[in-house]
Structure 1
Amino acid sequence: MPSDAAPRIGYVVKVYPRFSETFVVTEILAREALGEDLVVFALRPTDDARFHPELARVQAPVFHLGRATKPSALWSVLRDAAAGPPLADAIAAHLGELLSAEVDDAVQAVLLAAAARREGITHLHAHFGSVATTVARLASRLTGIPYSFTAHAKDLFHESVDRAALAQKLTDAAFTVTVSDYNLAFVREAFPGTGDVHRLYNGLELDRFRFRPRPLRRGPLRIAAVGRLVEKKGFDILIDAVALLRDTGVDVTADIAGTGELALDLADRIERAGVGDRVRLLGPLPQHEIARLLAESDVFVAPCVVSDDGNADGLPTVLLEAMATGIPCISTDVTGIPEVVRNGETGVLCRAGSAPDLVAALRGFAEGTTDAAALAARARRLVEERFDSRRQAAALAALTSNAGRRALEEVA
């Protein structure tokens, strides 16, 4: 249902708000700052107990779509939808596709379609090519409203990804964006000829991440690390590296902020390595406390690895935030990370999973043989040039406008 009405963008996300997905809020804020009219549709309620203060600045209304917990609820959704002839006809026309979907996805697609019509949505944009895009695509089929999505990492590389379903989403989307050149090359190679795909880095509100040169270090090398406590973050490698440095007389400490399924395993690893006086697990921290942690630390480490199930980081937002603030960074050669951590230029790059590499990199900072100030200054320039959320928002707005124009031309 292409329209020449004033654009109104519906953001479709699995959970909103989600503490670990600051990039979604940053993107919404940047698009709103451009004057775009947005609405958020969430498929699941949040279970996060803490929220970043930036959330309060979002103007977009938020609608949480229900789920069919029992058969009667499913029929209620369909009965309500059938009360409007256009949507009833669309459900009948696409019934086979709805029946082939998971029940939750089909129900929420119908709910999203009805809500999108009611709210005057002209374009749907989903984050992650998994359930949010499944629902957005089905709702698009029911309404004719074009959709797009951002592909990150797990939705591309995890062993559970349904390649045929992802190919269909890419083909049907008005456009797709993904967050690194590595991802873009992967999509184009793995899914040739399946749609209009662009690389668009996640952006930062640079005014919130002021560059502050590190003061002259006194005492132990203070390491900061931030992320969910899951396999792909590689925090076990960091713990091992701290133990190895201690054994060779290098004085270091490490603070790891985050929560996740490996919290107990990492705590046990710290105890077994005998580095409980050097490594702290801080739990989840809001962004202002992350900023303070970075300001008080000497080096930021993102020791990312590829998990056994294929899961990997695309390009961690917190790594970009660290680079923006002036703390020198160490990371690994996983997916898109080498596009920002350019070894010896904007940071130090290690082989993923290599504790000896990480030890050598940290030793360079501890002993002063690595020019931390030069790395940090070049890293900030790179972030300013390529990761400004205002540039990202303008690119998304242009892609969305072009998609709307094409849709109108197709029905003209």
Structure 2
Amino acid sequence: MKGPAPLQRVVYVVSLFPCWSETFIVREIAALIESGVDVRVLSLKPASESLVHDDAAVLLDRARHPRSLFAAGAALLRTTATRPWVLAGILARIVADSWRSPRVLGKSLAALLRGLEHAAWLRTFDPNLIHAHWATYPSTVAWALGRLLDKPFGFTCHAHDIFTERQLLARKIDEAALAVTISQYNVDWLRQHVAGDGAQQLKVVHCGVDMAHAPWRPDGREGNRILAVGRLDPIKGFDTLVAALALLRERGVDVYCRLVGSGPLESALREQARRQGVAERIEFAGAQPQDVVRRWMREATLFALPSQVAEDGNRDGIPVALMEAMASGCTPVSTRVSGIPELIEDGVGGVLVDPGNVDALADALQRLLGDAALRRHLAVGARERVEHEFDARVEAARLRGHMQEVLHVA
């Protein structure tokens, strides 16, 4: 018997690369490359982001994007000719899983076509593992390519791809050489709702912060500036934050909030702020480059992210923005939702309140704004927590170890 084959080449399948909000994937890939793994990226969508972070830009020459319908059609014909029964089985499983949702079915088939477009290149590159981030279309493509190319596949699942989508999810967990998720909360939830005892094979690998580029600045934060960062989406709870700011205004607390991000709720949040009399106290800063957000984290008095469960069941995983704030020395205030308590221990590395509780959020913000000593105490605990459990390089090394484990050969 031979020992395990060395992990040399990995292909990542993602929906869009580069993607402004998925800095955690970039960090993971960069750390794997730094460790000696040749990582390539298969993006299912053409590059379209107007804002590209510097650390993603340096990986662009490793990324492959869709080319043309002609190329995709030709790849489909080649696959049909060479692996007809395998392809038929893949299509049958996709249809059986999603026929009740024509939108999901159509997008799954389109994603598969875009993946097949790169099948010839994949054979030449000969990856040890095909790994996807998100348990939706990217992992469907990774699963299909793994079957077609006789390669092990893995995936990392996060939040909406568990709580609201669940595309072939039980099958993917069962058939993956490596099934990963980002919190113990997710493992427990999947065991209860999706995979039963099969969830035991899930590995927990946290998203993380690049601690080498996360200078800690707990001091010099006197004032009343609150920073909030995230997509303007129901799961972030920014409507609760606006209401809490209005309550603080009624209490005579002078506070200013900078809200970084864009999304479908921007107009509604602006109108809420106007209606509740705090429009002049909230800056809607839109999406910003990473270096700008980091600078604002080093300046803000508090970081607020009052995550909540949306009506459709969607919720955060463990928001990377919270990790980054904690690494910078900015004391966080968040909620007891999903995996967030695995990151923030209430009263040790920040403050947690119940989701949707305006009074509790306002009380926590007011208390911390008025107590610099407490803020610093919590900032110390926050930094220690991120250093010990959410260092991107450490977590990437953990993932690399799991990837290595699946490569035993006869």
- Structure-1-length-normalised TM-score: 0.90
Q: Does 1:393 align with 2:396?
A: yes
Aligned equivalents of 2:252, 2:208: Cα separation in 1: 40
CA deviations 1:300-340 (Å, max 9, x no partner) are 00110111111110000010000000010100001000111
- The residue that corresponds to 1:194 in the other structure is 198
Aligned equivalents of 1:333, 1:6: Cα separation in 2: 38
- The residue that corresponds to 1:110 in the other structure is 116
**RMSD of Structure 2 on Structure 1 (CA):** 2.0
How far is the alpha carbon of 1:111 from its aligned partner? 2.5
How far is the alpha carbon of 1:40 from its aligned partner? 0.4
Within the candidate set 119, 126, 131, 1:125 is matched to 131
Aligned equivalents of 1:45, 1:177: Cα separation in 2: 26
- The residue that corresponds to 1:183 in the other structure is 186
- Decide which moves more: 49-58 or 303-312: 49-58
Secondary structure in 2 matching 1:323: helix
How far is the alpha carbon of 1:342 from its aligned partner? 1.0
1:67–1:301: structure 2 CA closer, same or farther, 3 Å change rule? farther
CA contact (8 A) 1:250 1:366 kept: no
- The residue that corresponds to 1:52 in the other structure is 53
CA contact (8 A) 1:29 1:57 kept: no
CA contact (8 A) 1:225 1:301 kept: yes
How far is the alpha carbon of 1:370 from its aligned partner? 6.7
How far is the alpha carbon of 1:99 from its aligned partner? 5.0
Aligned equivalents of 2:68, 2:178: Cα separation in 1: 28
- The residue that corresponds to 1:89 in the other structure is 82
Aligned equivalents of 1:247, 1:194: Cα separation in 2: 51
- The residue that corresponds to 2:148 in the other structure is 142
Matches within 5 A, 1:282-301: 282-301=285-304
Structure 2, unaligned stretches of length 5 or more?
95-107
1:369–1:203: structure 2 CA closer, same or farther, 3 Å change rule? closer
Aligned equivalents of 1:291, 1:249: Cα separation in 2: 30
Q: Does 1:170 align with 2:173?
A: yes
- The residue that corresponds to 2:235 in the other structure is 232
Q: State percent identity of aligned pairs.
A: 34
CA contact (8 A) 2:323 2:386 kept: yes
Query: Which AA in structure 1 matches 2:202?
Result: V
- The residue that corresponds to 1:353 in the other structure is 356
CA contact (8 A) 2:75 2:119 kept: no
- The residue that corresponds to 2:13 in the other structure is 12
CA deviations 1:150-189 (Å, max 9, x no partner) are 010101111x434xx1000111100111111111221233
Within the candidate set 380, 385, 392, 1:382 is matched to 385
- Decide which moves more: 6-15 or 238-247: 6-15
Structure 1, unaligned stretches of length 5 or more?
83-87
1:222–1:399: structure 2 CA closer, same or farther, 3 Å change rule? same
Secondary structure in 1 matching 2:197: coil
How far is the alpha carbon of 1:75 from its aligned partner? 4.3
Aligned equivalents of 2:5, 2:301: Cα separation in 1: 53
- The residue that corresponds to 1:248 in the other structure is 251
CA contact (8 A) 2:301 2:369 kept: no
CA deviations 1:91-134 (Å, max 9, x no partner) are 33332322553431332342243331122212111000000000
Aligned equivalents of 2:68, 2:267: Cα separation in 1: 33
CA deviations 1:45-66 (Å, max 9, x no partner) are 2332111111234376111135
- Decide which moves more: 342-351 or 179-188: 179-188
- Structure-2-length-normalised TM-score: 0.91
Aligned equivalents of 1:66, 1:185: Cα separation in 2: 40
CA deviations 1:163-221 (Å, max 9, x no partner) are xx100011110011111111122123331233621111112110111101232624xx1
- The residue that corresponds to 1:319 in the other structure is 322
Query: Which AA in structure 2 matches 1:89?
Result: T
How far is the alpha carbon of 1:388 from its aligned partner? 1.2
Aligned length: 392
Aligned equivalents of 2:378, 2:139: Cα separation in 1: 38
Q: Does 1:213 align with 2:233?
A: no
CA contact (8 A) 1:11 1:41 kept: yes
- The residue that corresponds to 1:76 in the other structure is 74
- The residue that corresponds to 1:85 in the other structure is none
CA contact (8 A) 1:40 1:60 kept: no
Secondary structure in 1 matching 2:318: coil
